Copies of this chain bind each other. A is one copy, B any other.
Amino acid sequence: MSLQKLLGTAHPIIQAPMAGVQGSALAVAVSNAGGLGSLPCAMLTLDAMREELAAIKAQTGKPFNVNFFCHASPEPDAGRDAAWRAALSPYYREYGADGDVVPAGRGRAPFSSEAADLLEEFRPAVVSFHFGLPSEGLLRRVSAWGSKVLSSATTVAEARWLEAHGADAIIAQGFEAGGHRGMFLTEDLTTQVGTFALLPQIVREVKLPVIAAGGIADARGVAAAMALGAAAVQIGTAYLLCPEATTSVVHRAALKSEAARHTAITNLFSGRPARGIVNRVMTELGPISAAAPAFPLAAFAMAPLRARAESRGSPDFSPLWCGQNVSGCKEIPAADLTRELAADL
């Protein structure tokens, strides 16, 4: 079955779910333009999720994707957390911030039975997961009500695992991709493979349709991914400057600057490796630090620094998620961008 048939879209183009920089508006625009819009739910409360899903349903009859993380929530580790706040203490002093004030909010929550209850009311055409798949029981519920299930593989071994555990299609997430690495069978970053090498190897090793992600910026990139055997592509970074994205002022400025040429994989902002534009805290503490608390706890200690720095117009403590190819970023409506990406198909 072709992936377009599986997804129900006109174009084999998925807008990558990007928690923290977009909500329903971007998803609606992409879905209405014939792509597959995505709603990232990792940072939403159940109430916010309901609002966003209702907003999508109200604005499009086209298929859309709802995305969840499915990590195991870590045990709090007060000692490690204190050591990390101590490492950040020079910055707290510099900004007059109180590192002991724990910000409100749930942080990033994994897919849960409560989220499944809510999702069942909406039955989206597609549900995608990051960091593997949820428990067998939860996955069975999602599949039972008819949603097609996607998840990301960063290695051939992860692709085989996803095929064996119930995914309907596999996203081959190359090393170039922005945001969180979907890696879930290893923590060894040397296992991460560029799109050009990863995609054809996964295509060869699994029977499921494969979606290419990482470094795809324009119609030529889409055509190249299809030439390598992709059934569809997932594109994130190119949408970051669209008016429908909620990308912050400092993030937009960084994306438009020469600084965007240099991204790195960092764990400083969440505790798991994710690719973003290199900024001050990444340069000074990492980009990878063994001292960062487990995912998603590292985010809390950085939050007050980020808030204060951003209020001064500084990106020094912000996660500036971004892939290795910003050449496709355009300040145009997401519908136009989607059509441009599909132009050579």
A65 to chain B, nearest CB (A): 22
A216 contacts across to B, CB distance below 8 A? 196
Mask, A194-238, CB within 8 Å of B = 1, is 111110110010000000001111101101110111000000000
Whether A200 contacts B223 by the Cβ 8 Å rule is: no
Q: Does any Cβ of B come within 8 Å of A261's Cβ? A: yes
Whether B156 contacts A190 by the Cβ 8 Å rule is: no
Q: Does any Cβ of B come within 8 Å of A40's Cβ? A: no
A323 contacts across to B, CB distance below 8 A? 197
A226 to chain B, nearest CB (A): 8
Number of identical monomers bound together in the oligomeric complex: 2
A68 to chain B, nearest CB (A): 27
- The number of residues on chain A lying at the interface, defined by a beta carbon within 8 Å of a beta carbon of chain B, is 41
Whether B228 contacts A262 by the Cβ 8 Å rule is: no
A9 to chain B, nearest CB (A): 22
A327 contacts across to B, CB distance below 8 A? 200-201, 204
Q: Within the complex, which residue of B193, B218, B278 is in contact with A176, where a contact is CB–CB below 8 Å?
A: B193
Whether B194 contacts A215 by the Cβ 8 Å rule is: yes
A127 to chain B, nearest CB (A): 27
Mask, A140-167, CB within 8 Å of B = 1, is 0000000000000001110000000000
Whether A214 contacts B194 by the Cβ 8 Å rule is: yes
Whether B190 contacts A217 by the Cβ 8 Å rule is: no
Contacts A220-B227, A227-B223, A261-B155 given; does A176 touch B196 at CB 8 Å? yes
A198 contacts across to B, CB distance below 8 A? 324
A220 contacts across to B, CB distance below 8 A? 200, 227-229
A103 to chain B, nearest CB (A): 28
A196 contacts across to B, CB distance below 8 A? 174, 176, 194-196, 214-216, 221, 224-225, 325
Q: Does any Cβ of B come within 8 Å of A287's Cβ? A: yes
For residue A275, which residue of chain B has the nearest CB?
B190
A224 contacts across to B, CB distance below 8 A? 196, 224-225, 227-228
Q: Does any Cβ of B come within 8 Å of A265's Cβ? A: yes
In chain A, positions 73-118 with a C-beta closer than 8 Å to chain B are: none
Q: Within the complex, which residue of B175, B200, B262, B264 is in contact with A175, where a contact is CB–CB below 8 Å?
A: B175
Could you jot down 9 A-B contacts, CB within 8 Å?
A196-B214, A196-B221, A197-B215, A197-B217, A197-B324, A200-B217, A200-B218, A200-B221, A224-B228
Q: What are the 3 tightest A-B residue pairs by CB atom distance, in nearest-first order?
A: A194-B194, A196-B215, A197-B215
Knowing that A176-B194, A196-B325 touch, tell me 14 more A-B residue pairs with CB under 8 angstroms. Answer: A176-B196, A176-B197, A190-B265, A193-B324, A194-B194, A195-B197, A197-B214, A197-B217, A197-B325, A200-B218, A200-B327, A201-B327, A223-B227, A224-B225
